[in-house]
Amino acid sequence: MVFLSDKLKYSIIIPTLNEEALLPKLLNQLNDKKLRSSYEFEIIISDGGSKDKTLEISRNLVDKIILNQDQVSQNIAAGRNIGAKSASGEILIFLNGDVILNDAFYFFDYLEKHFNYSNYLAFTCDVWIYPEEEKFSDKIYHTIYNNYFGTLNYIGVGMGRGECQVIRRDVFIEVGGYNEKCAAGEDFELFKRIRKMGKILFSKNVFVFESPRRFRRFGYAKVTLSWMVNSFSVIFKKRSMLTEWEQVR
């Protein structure tokens, strides 16, 4: 990998594919004038070939738009890697296009106080459903899942969902980025490799919200089974069982 460099604190990398409906929530949040003047960060969209208005929406709200130059579709691992190659920040913040931060100011403040000058190599946090769409079943499931992820990090097993992963740029380069053979499970596979190098910070005070769209379409049982099958494949075969992660919009 060849990476650009031009001293900047943070690079926020958002892989996208037909995210016109939800992406504006995140971009508007990140473009708060006070936020942008308080913290040094750039916003990078790494687009996998959107056919909707994703790029049109992004044009005036981000610093860089990286397009998929291949003739074939790229998975989210490739999208994140391509975005990272053009990043100038010392710290890479990967957020999914359907995510919003609970409190953007607190998010950056937490990184400044607890991560930036620590010996942690990466950071991740709890993920919850949008409050306005959350059902009781969502609350129960995500409580269990967040505690599971937190426990794994506490006992030394690297784990983190791709909805929000923060990684030091030099560490990302050293481990070779996301495994592009993984159409799913690329997020925890990367954190497992990073954990072998050093510690990962997990916080329940910082958290992000995600869309429930996949859970609504397939149900929690099917989504969880798919995650489990792909996880075992990633662990033992170094690649996901699925060759393509089905798009839900």
Question: Can you give the pLDDT at residue 85?
Answer: 96
Between the two ends of the chain, the Cα-to-Cα distance in Å is 31
What band does 4 get if pLDDT is binned at 50, 70 and 90? very low
pLDDT digits (tens, 9 = 90+) for 150-185: 998 889 888 889 999 999 999 999 999 999 988 778
Q: Where are the domains of the chain?
A: 8-237
Asked if pLDDT for residue 94 goes beyond 70, the answer is yes
Percent of the chain with pLDDT over 90: 73
Q: In what order do the strands lie in the sheet with 8-16?
A: 64-67, 41-47, 8-16, 89-95, 164-168, 122-129, 200-210, 100-101
| C-alpha pair distances (Å), 101 with each of 2, 58, 81, 156, 165 | 30, 18, 22, 26, 12
Q: Which CATH number fits domain 8-237: 1.10.287.110, 3.30.2130.10, 3.90.550.10, 3.20.20.70?
A: 3.90.550.10
Tokens matching residue 4: 């650009």
pLDDT digits (tens, 9 = 90+) for 36-70: 999 999 999 999 999 999 999 999 999 999 998 77
Question: Which run of H or of E encompasses 129?
Answer: strand 122-129
Asked if pLDDT for residue 245 goes beyond 60, the answer is no
Tokens matching residue 191: 């954190």
- Across the range 9-38, mean pLDDT stands at 96
Question: Can you give the pLDDT at residue 69?
Answer: 78
Asked if pLDDT for residue 83 goes beyond 50, the answer is yes
Q: Which long-range contacts (CB under 8 A, 24 or more apart) does 195-199 make?
A: 195/156, 195/157, 195/158, 196/158, 197/121, 197/171, 198/119, 198/120, 198/121, 198/171, 199/119, 199/120, 199/121
pLDDT digits (tens, 9 = 90+) for 107-146: 999 999 999 999 999 999 999 999 999 999 999 999 999 9
Strand 164-168 to 122-129 pairing = antiparallel
pLDDT digits (tens, 9 = 90+) for 222-232: 988 877 776 76
Sequence-distant (≥ 6) Cβ neighbours of residue 186 within 8 angstroms: 75, 76, 77, 80, 162, 178, 179, 180, 234, 240
d(CA 40, CA 95): 17
Amino acid at 78: A
DSSP 72-86: S---HHHHHHHHHHT
